[in-house]
């Protein structure tokens, strides 16, 4: 999937001065192709770092708009990242998998030692998932999730981190409806709608991994607000098991809660969680605008994370 991200350059020209502007493009990662949008001439490829002459201008202050085509990026662990309009990031299309985190844990043994008791203890029984390499990693606290992102950058020289609350909103499609300067607490649950649309419960099966009739049939809960909705999963599901959104990003609703960088509110050190999980079913929990918060030391079988890769600008976050 490709997205056009505008670059605006304003040249201030004196009343009698004629000059030639030069726009130098640099891609991240280095070596990627970028493209100039030449009106009525189609898309003309330009290599990263190549100079593009800008038309001569005279007696005006002239804005010159270029649209840069940002390609998806796949890192050495096979994690694919796509651009998110309205941000300066590429977001991983899936939650961090057990197989991704296992590489990190193998190089940081203290991390592996701190992650014990990964079975799912429900009301009536304890469950374990076999062959869980493609499932989202769980019981990772905020510090470990952040450390994984930093470590990931040592593999390819890119800058990875957890998404900000606003970036996560942009990815799920509501960023333009929220005030980036407000706290996550003040915005939680305010915008209606869910990752699949406005209807509740979900209008058809398999739209995301939530607490559903599968769990009722197993006898682990008596009922849920989702009625007969069935996603086929009792616990977590392999990432990308359900439909992606328009950006090609999966599981922004359900499967596991996802850590964000931000504080939930300035007066305490609890961090933001977004996206709900396999163990939730209420209308408010499943809203795209809903936030939860826990201490950054928290570990739970419903909490995981995903990474983002910076393109250029610094993140806007309530830290």
Straight-line distance from the first to the last Cα atom of the chain, in angstroms, rounded to the nearest whole number: 32
> Mean pLDDT of residues grouped by 10 in the chain (319 residues)?
40 31 50 46 42 42 54 97 97 97 92 73 92 94 97 97 98 98 98 97 98 96 95 97 98 98 96 98 98 97 97 56
Helix/strand/coil (H, E, C) string of 155-190?
HHCCCEECCCHHHHHHHHCCHHHCCCCCCHHHHCCC
Task: Quote the pLDDT of residue 139.
Answer: 94
B/e letters for 11-39, b = 16+ CB within 10 Å, e = fewer, are: bebeeeeeeebebebebbeeeeebbbbee
Separation CA 3–CA 69 (nearest Å): 6
Task: Report in angstroms the alpha-carbon separations of 237 from 21, 91, 255, 315.
Answer: 53, 20, 6, 30
Task: Quote the pLDDT of residue 111.
Answer: 85
> What fold is seen in the domain 73-310?
3.90.1580
In the 8-state DSSP scheme, what is residue 209? B
The helix (H) or strand (E) run that includes residue 276 is none
85-140 pLDDT, tens digit per residue, is 999 999 999 999 999 999 999 999 888 766 666 789 999 999 999 889 999 999 99
CB atoms under 10 Å from CB of 95, counted, come to 25
- CATH 3.90.1580.10 spans which residues of the chain? 73-310
């Amino acid at each position: 999937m490709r997205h056009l991200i505008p670059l605006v350059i304003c040249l201030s020209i004196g009343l009698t001065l004629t000059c030639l502007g030069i726009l130098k493009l640099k891609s991240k990662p280095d070596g990627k192709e970028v493209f100039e949008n030449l009106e009525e001439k189609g898309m003309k490829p330009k290599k990263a770092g190549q100079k593009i002459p800008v038309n001569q201008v005279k007696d005006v202050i002239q804005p010159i708009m270029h649209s840069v085509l940002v390609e998806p990026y796949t890192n050495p662990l096979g994690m694919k990242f796509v651009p998110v309009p309205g941000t300066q990031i590429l977001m991983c299309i899936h939650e961090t998998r057990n197989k991704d985190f296992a590489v990190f844990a193998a190089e940081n043994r203290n991390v592996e030692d701190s992650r014990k008791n990964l079975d799912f203890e429900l009301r009536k029984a304890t469950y374990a998932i076999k062959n869980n390499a493609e499932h989202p990693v769980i019981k990772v606290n905020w510090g470990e999730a952040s450390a994984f992102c930093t470590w990931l950058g040592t593999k390819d020289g890119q800058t990875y981190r957890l998404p900000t609350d606003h970036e996560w909103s942009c990815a799920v499609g509501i960023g333009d409806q929220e005030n980036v300067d407000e706290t996550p607490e003040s915005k939680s649950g305010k915008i209606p709608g869910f990752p699949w649309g406005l209807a509740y419960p979900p209008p058809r099966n398999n739209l995301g991994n939530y607490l559903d009739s599968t769990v009722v049939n197993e006898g682990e809960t008596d009922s849920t607000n989702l009625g007969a909705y069935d996603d086929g999963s009792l616990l977590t599901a392999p990432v990308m098991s359900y439909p992606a959104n328009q950006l090609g990003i999966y599981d922004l609703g359900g499967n596991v809660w996802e850590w964000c960088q931000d504080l939930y509110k300035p007066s305490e050190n609890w961090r933001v969680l977004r996206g709900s999980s396999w163990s939730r079913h209420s209308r408010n929990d499943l809203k795209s605008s809903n936030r939860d918060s826990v201490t950054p030391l928290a570990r739970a079988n419903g909490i995981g994370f995903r990474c983002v890769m910076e393109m250029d600008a610094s993140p806007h976050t309530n830290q």
